[in-house]
Every structure is written in structure tokens, then in C-alpha cells.
Amino acid sequence: SQTIHQWPATLVQPVGSPLSLECTVEGTSNPNLYWYRQAAGRGLQLLFYSVGIGQISSEVPQNLSASRPQDRQFILSSKKLLLSDSGFYLCAWLRTPSYEQYFGPGTRLTVT
Amino acid sequence: ELKVEQNPLFLSMQEGKNYTIYCNYSTTSDRLYWYRQDPGKSLESLFVLLSNGAVKQEGRLMASLDTKARLSTLHITAAVHDLSATYFCAVDMELGSGYALNFGKGTSLLVTP
């Protein structure tokens, strides 16, 4: 069976500090991977998606970046955090042929 | 621009009552998804509706899809407290090399005794 992991689970960082969030998927190969952010309130916003190693597409221009160094690893980074980066970051993978997305447990980031 | 609108956004209902959450979307998508989110938790997949007229049921929840009307409904039957959560609908958003999900704002459901 497939599982998706994210870490850390929670993170408190000062403004201007760097960020690295990690997502890994087990039990499947070459999945489509996604980063979403859920700001306080509730809506989910697509940040990045990847269809393979080294292939990253960004949906929202901002101070965040993503990388996919391995088939089942997806990393979200920032060089300098902003207050507006606070939120709940969710990684997801796409299961075919149902096109259903499964979400990881999330990382709650608070920028102070 | 693809829009996904849910209503109501907030719903307080008594245990034992029935209610329906509506999800309207603006594109011609044949796939619609319902997710549940408990406070502080991630999203849990409830239903995947893959074609016009699709109906799926799980316990006290039933979801349906009308692609011609661009409408999906999530019907709650005889609500119980355990159903209190936020419910999201989502529609496929076509990207350059695949699909992602475009979510509605969610419906916060509170079931009271």
C-alpha cells in the first residue's frame, strides 16, 4: 500500500529565516506530486506540482521554491520567510487511473 | 478562470436531521472529488465522482454529480456528531502536463445534540 510522509509536523520560524519541508511517498513509483497551502481560514492553494524528477511547475509566483531530487521525494523551500508564508502545507500524490489525490499529514508553519 | 463554489460555508445542524451541501463549478469537468478535514488534520478522501450521474454513498453521506448542471451535492442523512468537520469539493484543473485540484472554500459542519 502507498503512504505519504511529511516532516516536520510543526515548525515555528522567524521572518527572514530559510525553510525546508520534505515530502516522501512510499509504495508507488514516479507519482505526480503536489504542494498545496492552506492559509488560516481554509482554502487550499496549489503551489507546485511535479510529474517527475527535476520537473517542477509553479502555479503561484512567490518566495517559495520546490525541488524533486528523487522519484518519491518532494521538497518545498524558501530562502527568506515572510509572515504571509504561515499556513498548513500539504503534500499530495496522484493515484491513477482514478485521478484521486491523497494527502500527507501536513506541516503547520508559523512565521513569527 | 476555474471557480468552485460551495454553499453553505457554515452549517450548524441538529443530530438526526438531513441536509445537503452544494458544489458548483465553472468548467466542463467530468471528475469531482469530496474531501473531509477534521480540525488541525489533513484531508481525507471521501468520494471520487467520475462521470455524469455518478452517485456514491458511504454511511450517512451520499454524493452525486450532474456535469451538465456543473453541480455536485453531498447529502447528509440523520446527522451524528461524528460528522462534524469541514467538507471540501474539488474539481480537476488542467495543467500543462497533468492535473491538479481546484478546491472550493469548504463547508464547516457542526452537528449538535
- Which of B33, B42, B89, B99 is the mutation pick for testing A, counting most A CBs within 10 A? B42
The nearest alpha carbon in chain A to B36 belongs to A103
Q: Which amino acid is at B72?
A: S
Q: What is the secondary structure of A69-110 as a DSSP string?
A: EETTEEEEEESS--GGG-EEEEEEEEETTTTEEEE---EEEE
Which of B86, B101, B105 is nearest residue A101 as measured by Cβ atoms? B101
CB B63 within 8 A of CB B76: no
CB contact under 8 A, A105 and B42: yes
CB contact under 8 A, A101 and B108: no
CB B4 within 8 A of CB B104: yes
pLDDT for position A20 = 98
CB contact under 8 A, B92 and A99: yes
Residue B104, pLDDT above cutoff 80: yes
Q: What are B44-77's pLDDT values in tens digits?
A: 999 999 888 899 999 999 999 999 999 999 999 9
Rounded to whole angstroms, the Cα distance separating B38 from B44 reads 9
pLDDT for position B94 = 82
Rounded to whole angstroms, the Cα distance separating A27 from A45 reads 26
Name every chain B residue with its beta carbon within 8 A of the beta carbon of A51. 97-98
Q: What are B7-21's pLDDT values in tens digits?
A: 999 999 999 999 999
CB contact under 8 A, B98 and A51: yes
Rounded to whole angstroms, the Cα distance separating B40 from A110 reads 14
Residue A29, pLDDT above cutoff 70: yes
Residue B30, pLDDT above cutoff 80: no
The nearest alpha carbon in chain A to B4 belongs to A43
pLDDT for position B38 = 96
Q: What are A35-69's pLDDT values in tens digits?
A: 999 988 768 999 999 999 989 988 876 799 999 99
Handedness of CA A82, A88, A91, A96 (dihedral sign): negative
Name every chain B residue with its beta carbon within 8 A of the beta carbon of A32. 98
Looking at mean pLDDT, say which of A13-17, A29-33, A44-48 comes out highest: A13-17
